[in-house]
A and B are shown apart, each in its own frame.
Chain A
Amino acid sequence: MTTPARNRAVKEQPDRGQLIDLLRQMMLIRRFEEKAAEMYARRKIGGFLHLYIGQEAVAVGAISTLGPSDYIVSHYREHGHALARGLEPGPLMAELFGRATGVSRGRGGSMHLFDAKRGFMGGYAIVGGHMPLAVGLALASSYLKNGRIVLNIFGDGAVNQGEFHESLNLASVWKLPVVFLCENNLYGMGTDVRRVSAEPEIHKRACGYNIPAERVDGMDLLAVREAARRAVEWARGGNGPYFLEAVTYRFRGHSMADPEFYRDKAEVERWKAQDPILRFRRYLEDEGLISQEEARSLEEGVEATINEAVRFADESPEPPPGALYEYVYKE
């Protein structure tokens, strides 16, 4: 079933420049996350740190299909989503460092990144707890007829939470423009999704709410992008929500504290062999769309950007102590 999209923000066939930019975005996320891990080990970042390494194709593929005024409501493994949306690496790193120049002014941290100007509406730590917010944003867009759709990103861990079911039901009944994107990385923290889910093929659940759904290879950037394009067109066409399950894998633990007892090294290595960045880079090189020099130059550019982000964060001030009560209420 296809409907013509009113505000098609995305060309069906990305050109060379766009393809190279998609590669660059994935590289940026990878290096940001690796650098964040380093900064965490050096205690510049506190609390919890949930790395997106391995899942880059999902963020970049999906978010590249959104328009500039669309909304994103994400969970706590969100640095990749934020970068793909165009949040600047400097203020992002500064937020992880807790500085006043951080995207959330140092009040949120890794799990609560916000950039209202770019429609990046958080950053939430309660598994599944953010899904009702996405439904509400879509309700506002639908009511205001402003054409803005909502990309709601959550993990396989969220699909057994009550709020998941409530959100899918209400979005469907009220035909709201939400793209529900499940990043199925096979584990909810340390629990294999198959151990705790009556229906582990997550996209199949959507039929219980009359929501069209598909599953896509989350390690294949162009496949994710194509599927997301279909989903976004559907939602933007006023047809109601769409459900995407992107099967992916995180190469690191759930968080920096995770000793990974629950999965075996051989499995991790098998997935690393499908590294979405290497895969896409190889595709571009094979198609003659990028040269080795260009690819290296991208890497160097990303490296410089990340180093600059760390420098910016390092040199940024802490929030002043007197500011503890600021932002509790809006005056």
Chain B
Amino acid sequence: MAEITFREALRQTLREALLGDERVILMGEDIGAYGGSYGVTRGLLEEFGPDRVRDTPISESVVVGAGIGAAMGGLRPVVELMTINFSFLAFDQIINNASKLHYMSGGQINVPLVVRMASGGGSQLSSQHSHSLEGWYAHVPGLKVVVPATPYDARGLLKTALRDENPVIFIEHTALYAMKGEVPGEEYYVPFGQANVNRQGRDVTIVGYSGSVHQSLRAAAMLAEEGLEAEVIDLRTLRPLDIDTVVESVKKTTRAVVVEDDWRTGGFAGEISSLIQERAFDYLDAPVARVCGADVPMPYNKQLETAALPSEEQIVQAVRGMM
């Protein structure tokens, strides 16, 4: 066991992938000479050379599209999009090509591509650099969407992503890169579609993913002081979604709160809430609550930004409101 950062867990996993499989190549803006804008790919260009670690022009659409094409041609590419905010420029490639190629070719072609993206706000980067729109990708059949919240899961889920024969959108919350956590030395994988019960409790189920897992844990600690024991579930992947673990928990606690950074209206928390009420309606003692980002473009001002994102206080309030 070692304690390493989320960033380092990713870096080591990518490095092992490059060492272990000649078909793996990395492509992205500033991943080589710059070392990656979040440092995830530092040192990899020096070790593996420019054929395998490729700095690209600022052309998100062709970078992702070329990743798709290279996957079609027998490689196992990993494309880094500097942030999810820039991924919108590659939307056509991800939605119209990557997600559909296996289906519309009648199964002849598949796209073993991993697209990594930094996501999330909270650093005063303002409205165009602060999105958390992984829920949009989770909406699309044909994609897989992975949202690790810990270094252990970052590595385990990335290893699974690298073996998947389908396009995987791999979301890394910017606030988590420096987070430290235990990562075993031995070989392990974290499968998709398996949520993790991070904290057990009997009074309420709090569901989060990526950044919101840690807020939910902090809120659970605050609730414990009031004698309320929250069960915190980390979804780990949005597509496939392990709703069974959530439902099992809600049947026990009878109350659920879903927490995510993304805008409230039309967000993925709505999907989770809907599934909970479909499957556990008779068990619920209160409507499913959602604690989400405010429906505003992210403001620059620090206090406004904080108000636009979910907080531990909001989670605690939501729980109190359903008791």
Q: Which residues of A contact B (CB under 8 A)?
A: 71, 73, 102-108, 112, 114-116, 121-126, 129-141, 143-144, 148, 162-163, 166-167, 169-170, 173-174, 326-331
Contact = CB atoms under 8 A, between A and B. Distances in A.
A139 B93 contact: no
B303 interface: no
| Most chain A beta-carbon contacts within 10 A, residue among B59, B141, B144, B165 | B59
Interface of B: 25, 51, 54, 56-57, 59, 61-75, 77, 92-93, 96-97, 101-110, 141-142, 144, 165-166
Contact of B106 (A73, A104, A129, A140): A104
B68 A132 contact: yes
B73 A137 contact: yes
Lowest 6 CB-CB distances: which A-B pairs, in order?
A136-B69, A132-B65, A140-B73, A105-B106, A166-B62, A136-B66
Given A136-B68, A137-B69, A330 B62 contact: no
Contact of B103 (A107, A133, A137): A107
A133 B107 contact: no
A140 B75 contact: yes
B93 A129 contact: yes
B59 A137 contact: no
A129 to B, nearest CB: 5
A302 B67 CA distance: 40
Nearest to A173: B57
Contact of A132 (B25, B61, B165): B61
Contacts of A137: 69-70, 72-73
Given A116-B108, A133-B72, A167 B103 contact: no
A326 B107 contact: yes
Nearest to B109: A116
Contacts of A116: 105, 108-109
Contacts of B54: 174
Contact of A112 (B77, B104, B107): B104
B69 to A, nearest CB: 2
B96 A133 contact: no
B97 A124 contact: yes
B102 A329 contact: yes
Contacts of A167: 62, 65
Contacts of B92: 126, 129, 163
A139 B70 contact: yes
Given A114-B109, A169-B57, 8 more contacts: A102-B106, A105-B107, A126-B96, A129-B93, A129-B96, A132-B93, A170-B63, A329-B102
B97 A328 contact: no
Contacts of A123: 104-105
A113 to B, nearest CB: 9
B105 A133 contact: no
Contacts of A144: 73-75
Nearest to A133: B69
| Most chain B beta-carbon contacts within 10 A, residue among A73, A103, A135 | A135
A330 B107 contact: yes
A50 to B, nearest CB: 16
A59 B59 CA distance: 30
B104 A107 contact: yes
Contacts of B72: 121, 133, 136-137, 140
A135 B66 contact: yes
Given A143-B25, A143-B75, A132 B69 contact: yes
13 contacts: A104-B105, A107-B104, A121-B72, A129-B97, A131-B62, A132-B68, A132-B93, A139-B70, A163-B65, A167-B62, A170-B63, A170-B66, A327-B106
A134 B66 CA distance: 7
B290 to A, nearest CB: 28
Nearest to B25: A143
Nearest to A121: B72
| Most chain B beta-carbon contacts within 10 A, residue among A107, A166, A174, A331 | A166
A155 B61 CA distance: 19
Contacts of B63: 170
Contacts of B65: 129, 131-133, 135-136, 163, 167
A331 B97 CA distance: 18
Given A122-B105, A329-B102, A141 B64 contact: no
Nearest to B66: A136
Given A129-B97, A143-B51, A163-B62, A114 B103 contact: no
A133 B109 CA distance: 13
Contacts of A115: 108
A202 B75 CA distance: 32
Nearest to B89: A162
Contacts of B166: 329-330
Contacts of B144: 329
A159 B228 CA distance: 62
A277 B248 CA distance: 69
Contacts of B97: 124, 129-130, 132-133
Nearest to B167: A329
Contacts of A327: 102-103, 105-107
B50 to A, nearest CB: 10
A121 B62 contact: no
Contact of B165 (A105, A133, A173, A330): A330
A140 B67 CA distance: 9
Nearest to B113: A136
B136 to A, nearest CB: 18
Nearest to A113: B105
Contacts of A71: 73
A89 B30 CA distance: 47
Contacts of B109: 114, 116, 121-122
Given A121-B72, A162-B61, A163-B92, A136 B67 contact: yes
